[in-house]
Structure 1
Amino acid sequence: MLATLARTATRRPRTVLFIWFLLLAVGLGFGTRVFGDLTSTVEDVPGSESVVADDLLSRLDPDGDDFTAVVFGGPVRAADVRAAVTGAVADVRKAPGISVAADPYRTDGLVARDGKALLIPVTLKSGLDDDAEEDVVGDVADRLREIGGAVDGRVDVAVSGDPLLGEQMGGRAQEDVARAELITLPAVLVVLLLIFGGLRAAGLPLLVALSGVAGAFLTLLGFQQVTEISVYAVQVVTMLGLGLAVDYALLLVMRFREERVREDDVVRAVRATVAHAGRTVLFSGLTVAVCLSGLVWFPSPFLRSMGLAAGAVVVVDMLAALTLLPALLTLFGGRMTPRERRSRGGGWFRFPGRRAPRKARTAAATSHTATTEMATAPEAAAPAKAPGAFFARLALFSLRRPLAVVVTVVAGLVVLALPVFGLRIEIGDARQLPHDTEARQLHDAVHAHYPPGTGTDTVDVLIRPGADPDCARKIRALPGVTRVENGRMTDGTILLRLTPRGSADGPEATRLVERVRDLRGTEPVEVTGDAARLVDFREMLADRAPWAVLTVLAGLFALLFAFTGSLLSPLRTLLTTLLSLGAALGVVVWVFQDGHGASLLGGEGLGALSLTAPPLIIAIAFGLAMDYELFILARMRESWVETGDHRTAIVSGLRSSGRVVSCAALLLAIVFGGFMTGGFSPILQIGLGLTLAVLIDATVVRMFLVPAAMALLGRRAWWAPPGLRRLHERYGLSEGPVPAARRDSTTMSTR
């Protein structure tokens, strides 16, 4: 398959380019329609009790959603403020689609005791469609905001609530992502210019990324016709698409540079590049897709759409790397002839296209011999200017003291990962937003001027006809309830609105939901609300997670075996990857859940992580970590197949791939670090988690732990039982046949 792709891309490069540019135009022009119908709801689980009860409540309750305006910052009982508020309330009551708009001066508890704030709750009529509700909410919110202008700004007005909060959070998330992209993309281009030393080569990763994202948008638009797509799924497309494109393009272009040192003909160099590095790209794409396929097990639209989005961008990025990039290299690769720089870290390509200096070709041709000598004589020093000498020295360091390196690194990663055991997730409230947003201003004003519990979303209990009459009394008497509101629906259903202590979905609220469900027994009682949604989401995770994990681990193990022909290397890969991911997530918990240093990043400790952050961090970071692992394993296995010496394989693999992994990690750290320039807490959490995951994995884990662990395993790292070894030789995707001497040495090493 790889040979066919390489032949097609090199024989008809302009046709391949035309197809991809057509896809790019259609994807950016038509595929972006996916943005028009995204959902910002992440906690709903279709068919769960909370969703079913909420649908029932919507049908029975004559009123619809509600939202609130807060007027604060000055004396709200002043005559001009009162006149402005009263006039606005009168206008709101006349608006179509409004059921109730309370007069704060005539309703107890709406004017704060200190006289510096008042609340204007507004309730919509039920049965409004989405477009009608959006229009009426927008018009009414604008009218309420005019109160501040009517009194020359002596008071401030903030409007938020159920119909607005999700939109405000989703909008802020998209703003922060867009801001991060504007900041990081120029920085990425600059770093690529420094790496490659030329604009043509530097633009290749960005072109592959743009093509991948455009193709993924088209795919998501198709998925959107049959399922909901989350706003966070689009962020996955952007982040993972750019990350994988940079990784794949760096790997292929750097391998092309090596092949050009040995090969005058550009077409043959491109085909050799695809034959070797293309295999790594193919397996990397498949492993990342398998990592994310577990999300499809979950019925949550948020998780499922995230898996679909990530799978789409992985496949498109992989195809772009294996077809578009070889076509570009065929057309322009002759102008990207490698040149060794005297200054360390200099660019790797120059223009125009002349053959590399003889000195450079000689150094490249003898690099493998030097690596073999270094591995067999660990105390020997690598030539100071040999390609990859720094990474070869790192490998030699781990070879000399593998046990000490493994113990030290594992202990450090475990310490960093310890906070994960106290991880808590919540849907989150307005505290996730920066202080300059309306929802956060409303939240802060309410908590500053009103008693605790004011404005907290309730736990709604529906007691259906036929239930034990004493059931309502027992529920009202449950601990953790600060206030109870009673109502009766048209069919006789009793509605109890329980105000819990703490936040709407905090520990007290979720415990209250569990107490109600334990108390009801077999009675026809249903619970809904934010806390109930969170409880149902956690139960969904607990029920489906084992199947998702089993699917991912089985698929990864099979792919890694097909890639390496070993049973122990896949196991070691999974363990080291989980360690690096746990360490990154542990730091995020320590910072944003426990509040240690969160203010330095523009956030604050909230007592829990956002529901969206851990799944995004785990999915993207795990995929990228497998990328780096395969880059290193591929070069190690090439040397192992050729020499049969595990020490040579370790040094040669890290020497050849260390620069690719380091450059890719640097670029992605810049990209993910840009997400910490906003103020929305979930985006800050995702930015920190991914930045740390990339840096920890590409430095401590891949440069020290992996070679040390491989050294401890020795020849057993490439071991497989005879039957499985023959299966791999027959069906596994390999660079070529394994020499008989190598097969004999592998068999002997297991005895």
Structure 2
Amino acid sequence: MLSSLARTATRRPLTVILLWVLFLLLGFGLGTGVFGRLSDNVPEVPGTESEHAAQYLDRADPAGESVTGVVAGAAVTERGLRSQVERAVADVRGIDGIAAVPDPYTTPGLTARDGRALLIPVTLDGGLGDDAENRAVDAAVDRIKQIDAPQVHFSGGPLLGRQLGERAQHDVRDAELISLPVVLALLLVVFGGLRAAALPLVIAVSGIAGAFLALFGFSRVTDISVYAIQVTTMLGLGLAVDYALLMVVRFREERRHTPDLDEAVHRTVAAAGRTVLFSGLTVAVSLTGLLVFPSVFLRSMGLAVAAVVVIDMLAALTLLPALLARFGGRIAPAKVRPEGEEGRFFARVARFAARRRVAVLAVVVPALLVPAMPVTGMRIEIGDAAQLPATTEARRLYDTVDAHFPAGTGVSPVTVVLRPGTDTATADRIRALSPTARSRELPGGATVVRLQPSGRVDGAQATALVAAVRDLRGGEPVQVTGPAARLVDFRAMLAERAPWAALTVLAGISVLLFAFTGSVLIPLRTILTTLLSLGAALGVVVWVFQDGHMAGLLGAEGLGALSLTAPPLIVAIAFGLAMDYELFILARMREARRATGDDREAVVTGLRRSGRVVTCAALLLAVVFGAFMTGGFSPILQIGLGLTLAVLIDATVVRMLLVPATMALLGRRAWWAPGPLHRARERFGFGEEAPDAAAAVVGSGSRTP
């Protein structure tokens, strides 16, 4: 397959390039439409009690969604301001699609005790289509915003998703403007020339277009979270640079030993392309664990990110060879260096780790376990507007309400649905759980009871209310929904499905690594060392964002819990990225071992020839992740920090120390496989090498730039 791709690229380079140009136009044209289709309904899990109850309310309750405005910064009872507010409320009531707007001056709880703020809740008609709903919301917001007050903010309901989508688009644009010039500068340092440095950026732009197009496609059939934009774009950009870096480095190496341009492209695709192929498949398999969860959010994220990874892989295996075939003659070959000079630092590190393998393991393993310890106390929550940047409209509303109203104002209640036939005594005991319980009869005989928690929307008090209702109801037809109930169900879903997700990923990774290496022990060793770096990275995220240590340096604050989106995504993506660098190193080790037969020296040679590429790739990926952390969304900060640490720890401590130490400890046994498995692997062609690639690479001690 790789040989066919290489031949196509060299015979029809302009055709391949043209097809990718059309893909880019489609991605940046049609694909950017995803920004208007984003959702903030992360914790929904089909089939759970909270989701069943929510769907029942959607059918039975005639009331629609609501948005909330706040007017603050002046004495709201002052005659002129009060007159403006009353006229605005009257006008909003007359807008088509608006069901109700209470008088903020006569409705208890809507005017702050200090007299300097008031709330204006706007309830929409039920059953509105998207267009009618948007028109009603826009008209209401425009009218309320005409009030002349120091602070007028509006958010919530359908408006929140739109605001977050606009912010996501802004953050993605800024991150690209920051990361691409920095990445180009680093690539110029690595390659020493603009032509070679520009090629990874071309592949990176392809990855971004692929991210937009994949998300737009999935948004047509399922909800796509607002956080998916940053996650898929940062990963698509980072992996595209990684794969292109590996390919261009190998191409410059091959150009040094063959004057024929097409032959250099063929050998590059056969050798480095094989690593890219397995790397892309491995990262994609790591993300399939998210498909085990019934959560729409996790499944859509897994599919979208896996699709972006595959697009990056295809761009590296088709577009990049075509560009090399067309313009590669102008790229300078790698410089010839004296024997022993190339990769000397990495070779010394590898020899040290191999000689002192027991000491290295005794020091490095505990050093990674210590920062991983906070994971044992990790908590996840849905979170509220405190997770958003201070400049967002939703956060401004949140801060204004928090400054002027009692704690808990605006917190979503625990919603209890009492179906027809519920025992009266049970209903009374449920109402007694909250002194401010409110009841409302629905058409059809059901009753909705809203219990107001005293703390945060998904804090300990709210989740305790959910548990109390479910304990009290016995066999009665009572269901609980609302953010707190959804969080409880989401946590239960994670606990139930996480072992199956882990089993799925580990089995898939083991099969791919065996196909790549021909060993049954290397996959096991790789998984164990990767879990160490992953645990350390996740532990630091908990320590910073949950416990609040040094969070201010990142423009964040300790929230007492992580966003429920962060841990599963960090684990899935970081695991795949770790496999990325493992394959870079193992590919060189395999080549050296096939050429020399010396297991110990193959470890040193493998790290000598891959250490610089792995280090540069990790640094470039860290730059990309860091750029996306400038947006200020707490979940994105958590994911960005977790992935950055996982990549840097894995590319340095794990791959430079633990890999050579454990490979030296295993010795020749590291490459062992039972005879039947070895024959099966050869039969299906996974043992193929580029013609004379291994011998050519190892035959010269100064081949890799």
Report the TM-score when normalising by structure 1: 0.89
User: For the residues of structure 2 that align with 1:665 and 1:103, how far apart are their CA atoms?
Assistant: 57
Partner amino acid for 2:206?
S
1:504 matched to 2:442? The reply is no
Residue 180 of structure 2: aligned partner: 185
1:303 matched to 2:256? The reply is no
Give 1:483 shift: 2.2
Residue 20 of structure 1: aligned partner: 20
Contact 2:385/2:394, CA 8 A, preserved across alignment: yes
User: Cα–Cα, structure 1 residues 170 and 594, in superposed 2: closer, same or farther, change >3 Å?
Assistant: farther
User: Cα–Cα, structure 1 residues 737 and 14, in superposed 2: closer, same or farther, change >3 Å?
Assistant: closer
1:645 matched to 2:637? The reply is no
Give 1:219 shift: 4.2
User: For the residues of structure 2 that align with 1:79 and 1:506, how far apart are their CA atoms?
Assistant: 39
Contact 2:230/2:636, CA 8 A, preserved across alignment: no
Give 1:663 shift: 0.8
Q: 2:311 aligns with which of 307, 316, 332?
A: 316
1:337 matched to 2:332? The reply is yes
> Which whole-Å deviations, capped at 9, do the CAs of 1:462-487 have from their partners, x for residues lacking one?
10111111111111233xx3521111
Q: 2:669 aligns with which of 709, 713, 716?
A: 716
1:253 matched to 2:248? The reply is yes
Residue 30 of structure 2: aligned partner: 30
SS of structure 2 residue aligned to 1:70 = strand
SS of structure 2 residue aligned to 1:483 = coil
Greater mean deviation of Cα atoms: 69-78 or 690-699: 69-78
Give 1:174 shift: 3.4
Residue 396 of structure 1: aligned partner: 351
Residue 107 of structure 2: aligned partner: 107
Residue 413 of structure 2: aligned partner: 458
Residue 2 of structure 2: aligned partner: 2
SS of structure 2 residue aligned to 1:68 = strand
User: For the residues of structure 2 that align with 1:9 and 1:441, how far apart are their CA atoms?
Assistant: 53
Q: 2:364 aligns with which of 370, 385, 409?
A: 409
Give 1:210 shift: 2.1
User: For the residues of structure 1 that align with 2:284 and 2:483, how far apart are their CA atoms?
Assistant: 32
Partner amino acid for 1:499?
Q
Greater mean deviation of Cα atoms: 165-174 or 620-629: 165-174
Q: 1:235 aligns with which of 224, 230, 233?
A: 230
Residue 379 of structure 2: aligned partner: 424
Give 1:738 shift: 13
Contact 2:253/2:334, CA 8 A, preserved across alignment: no
User: For the residues of structure 1 that align with 2:590 and 2:11, how far apart are their CA atoms?
Assistant: 30
Contact 1:430/1:443, CA 8 A, preserved across alignment: yes
Contact 1:176/1:683, CA 8 A, preserved across alignment: no
Give 1:437 shift: 2.8
Partner amino acid for 2:9?
A
Greater mean deviation of Cα atoms: 432-441 or 670-679: 432-441
User: Cα–Cα, structure 1 residues 219 and 177, in superposed 2: closer, same or farther, change >3 Å?
Assistant: closer
User: For the residues of structure 1 that align with 2:394 and 2:32, how far apart are their CA atoms?
Assistant: 28
> Which whole-Å deviations, capped at 9, do the CAs of 1:543-597 have from their partners, x for residues lacking one?
3322222211111101101111111110111111121111111111111111111
Q: Runs of 5+ in structure 2 lacking a partner?
A: 693-705
SS of structure 1 residue aligned to 2:479 = strand
Partner amino acid for 1:285?
G
Q: 1:525 aligns with which of 452, 468, 478?
A: 478
User: Cα–Cα, structure 1 residues 7 and 539, in superposed 2: closer, same or farther, change >3 Å?
Assistant: same
User: For the residues of structure 2 that align with 1:291 and 1:519, how far apart are their CA atoms?
Assistant: 41
1:516 matched to 2:469? The reply is yes
SS of structure 2 residue aligned to 1:678 = coil
Give 1:46 shift: 2.1
Contact 2:36/2:165, CA 8 A, preserved across alignment: no
SS of structure 1 residue aligned to 2:120 = strand
Residue 205 of structure 1: aligned partner: 200
Partner amino acid for 1:305?
S
User: For the residues of structure 2 that align with 1:172 and 1:27, how far apart are their CA atoms?
Assistant: 20
Q: 1:269 aligns with which of 253, 264, 267?
A: 264
User: For the residues of structure 1 that align with 2:682 and 2:68, how far apart are their CA atoms?
Assistant: 67
Q: 1:487 aligns with which of 430, 440, 443?
A: 440
Residue 82 of structure 1: aligned partner: 82
User: Cα–Cα, structure 1 residues 116 and 217, in superposed 2: closer, same or farther, change >3 Å?
Assistant: closer
Contact 1:220/1:308, CA 8 A, preserved across alignment: no
User: Cα–Cα, structure 1 residues 435 and 332, in superposed 2: closer, same or farther, change >3 Å?
Assistant: closer
Partner amino acid for 1:234?
I
CA RMSD of superposed structures (Å): 2.1
SS of structure 2 residue aligned to 1:659 = helix
Residue 423 of structure 2: aligned partner: 468
Contact 1:577/1:697, CA 8 A, preserved across alignment: yes
Partner amino acid for 2:460?
P
1:125 matched to 2:80? The reply is no
How many pairs are equivalent?
693
SS of structure 2 residue aligned to 1:64 = strand
Give 1:222 shift: 3.9
Contact 2:172/2:229, CA 8 A, preserved across alignment: no
Alignment of 1:565-584 (within 5 A): 565-584=518-537
Partner amino acid for 1:431?
A
SS of structure 2 residue aligned to 1:337 = coil
Residue 698 of structure 2: aligned partner: none
Partner amino acid for 1:209?
A
User: For the residues of structure 2 that align with 1:29 and 1:536, how far apart are their CA atoms?
Assistant: 38
User: Cα–Cα, structure 1 residues 220 and 604, in superposed 2: closer, same or farther, change >3 Å?
Assistant: closer
Partner amino acid for 1:245?
A
Give 1:239 shift: 1.5
Contact 1:641/1:738, CA 8 A, preserved across alignment: no
User: Cα–Cα, structure 1 residues 221 and 74, in superposed 2: closer, same or farther, change >3 Å?
Assistant: closer
Give 1:736 shift: 4.3
Q: Percent identity?
A: 66
SS of structure 2 residue aligned to 1:616 = helix
User: Cα–Cα, structure 1 residues 594 and 482, in superposed 2: closer, same or farther, change >3 Å?
Assistant: farther
User: Cα–Cα, structure 1 residues 712 and 482, in superposed 2: closer, same or farther, change >3 Å?
Assistant: farther
User: Cα–Cα, structure 1 residues 232 and 257, in superposed 2: closer, same or farther, change >3 Å?
Assistant: same
Partner amino acid for 2:182?
A
SS of structure 1 residue aligned to 2:256 = helix
Contact 1:460/1:527, CA 8 A, preserved across alignment: yes
Partner amino acid for 1:440?
R
Residue 489 of structure 2: aligned partner: 536
Contact 1:729/1:737, CA 8 A, preserved across alignment: no
User: For the residues of structure 1 that align with 2:458 and 2:468, how far apart are their CA atoms?
Assistant: 14
Greater mean deviation of Cα atoms: 665-674 or 642-651: 642-651
Partner amino acid for 2:397?
L
Give 1:207 shift: 1.2
Residue 196 of structure 1: aligned partner: 191
Alignment of 1:47-196 (within 5 A): 47-147=47-147, 149=148, 153=149, 155-196=150-191
Contact 1:169/1:433, CA 8 A, preserved across alignment: no
1:594 matched to 2:589? The reply is no
Contact 1:234/1:309, CA 8 A, preserved across alignment: no
Greater mean deviation of Cα atoms: 212-221 or 408-417: 212-221
Residue 700 of structure 2: aligned partner: none
Residue 748 of structure 1: aligned partner: none
Greater mean deviation of Cα atoms: 409-418 or 203-212: 203-212
Q: 1:605 aligns with which of 558, 565, 579?
A: 558
User: For the residues of structure 1 that align with 2:56 and 2:442, how far apart are their CA atoms?
Assistant: 10
Partner amino acid for 1:207?
V
User: For the residues of structure 2 that align with 1:518 and 1:588, how far apart are their CA atoms?
Assistant: 34
Residue 401 of structure 2: aligned partner: 446
Contact 1:459/1:528, CA 8 A, preserved across alignment: yes
Residue 294 of structure 1: aligned partner: 289
Give 1:220 shift: 4.2
Give 1:176 shift: 2.2
User: For the residues of structure 1 that align with 2:34 and 2:386, how far apart are their CA atoms?
Assistant: 29
